[in-house]
Amino acid sequence: MHDIRELLDLGPEAVRRLARRRYALDPAVLAAAHRRRGTAVKTVSDLRAELREASRGHGGKPSEQAREKARRLRERVQEAEAAAHAAGAELTELLLPIPNLPLDEVPDGHSDQEAVEVRRGGPPVGERTGDRHHADLGEALNILDSSSAARLSGARFTVARGPGARLERALADFFLDLHTLEHGYTEYSVPYLVNREAMTGTGQLPKFEDDLFATRVGDRELFLVPTAEVPLTNLVAGQLLPAADLPLAFTSRTPCFRAEAGSYGRDTRGILRLHQFEKVELVRVCAVEDAPAQLELMLAHAEECLRRLELSYRVVLLPAGDLGFSARMTYDIEVWLPGSGAFREISSVSDCGTFQARRAGIRVRTPGGDKEPAATLNGSALPVGRTLAALLEQGQRPDGSVELPKALQSYAGFSRILPDGTTD
């Protein structure tokens, strides 16, 4: 969420930057709501001061007239407090749907087609013919079973069996070991159900409520996490962090649940866009001036996963109109899928600046004793399903087998899936 004073001080600049995201900011509406809240807060303050003065009296037992005046003032204070609360709620309701301001170095554009390629990594993309889609490979090897998943849960679910299930477990363990043992992240096991406050803190609510799975038991409402970013970031919600403790680096493996509202017809084959998938998430919390360097570091950590898995990929810088709601700058890592003949997103690594920290109340105590909002960053490193799809497509061989990269073989317990679905 934005600081209303900073947003209004930016004036036309805020309008310009948000227009790059196709968001039409109306500063006049915000300014009027800000004035109403300020007036309401001042009224509360003035009435409280008057009540304190009336309560002091002039010595001795207060008269009936003085007691009646104090009573009326207390009622007016309560009414004024209610009005101030309503004015504050109105302003918050206006601020919550406003997305983060893109940084100036973020390119213009509104779709992934306008992303700017930064670099490529892994083996060069070669010209091959006859490469099969991972859905076809998974069915042929009998390691992915979409028909059973459809009977259990409907569309956009999958069942992995045998070597497929083993590979999913191996990938998650490989990612977590890499990030905790070499990259310095602390691993957490977190709840998969979180409250509305946590979802609001990281920006999923109120904008993306239609894309979330919710559950209600009695009067208790909880949401299934769309990403471990939500519980990991909220581990420090409402806290004042000593600057000396920063940066914080968290990681967790969780299932992720997404309704994918508005994406119907996209990626209907295979395991690229499911309602439920597993992912290893990275979250970093730092001082705002350190955020650009922390973004590059997190991107390097995500890329290292792909390098060690010997996968071809590229890094792109997303345009302003394609940024996630809470991000001010995002790199996407796109992995090469020869079965589709295209690069497809496998990770987004985002700098959110102070946007989430303001919503979640995450602050830093500076060495000088000031209290400032922290900066938060998050990234996938990596989703299990999409990585499995890339391994199948890039690892396929003409005889129908799939070879695993050396880094994964000790985790999986085999080096190759044979055409009949067995391993060696």
Residues involved in catalysis = 258, 273, 345, 348, 386
Residues sharing a CB contact under 8 Å with residue 31, sequence separation 6 or more, in sequence order: 8
All residues at 6 or more sequence positions from 209 whose CB lies less than 8 Å from its CB, including other chains: none
Please give the Cα distance from 3 to 322 (Å, whole number).
23
In this structure, what token pair is assigned to residue 115?
A: 């992303």
CA–CA dist 2, 81 (Å, integer): 24
User: Distances in Å between the alpha carbon of 382 and those of 195, 348, 361?
Assistant: 25, 9, 28
Inter-helix orientation angle 64-95/27-56, to 10°: 160
Q: Are strands 116-121 and 159-160 parallel, antiparallel or unpaired?
A: unpaired
Burial call 167-196: b when 16+ CB within 10 Å, e when fewer: bbebbbebbbebbeeebebeebebeebbee
* Collapsed DSSP state (helix, strand, coil) of residue 400: coil
Residue 132 burial (C-beta neighbours within 10 Å; 0-12, 13-18, 19+): middle
Maximum CA extent, the chain: 101
Contact 319, 107 (CB under 8 A): yes
d(CA 123, CA 127): 12
Detail the DSSP E strand segments found in 14-148: 116-121, 144-145
And the tokens for 371? 């209290």
Angle between helix 291-308 and 163-177 (nearest 10): 140
The tokens for 326 are: 């809470």
Distance CA 203, CA 323 (A): 13
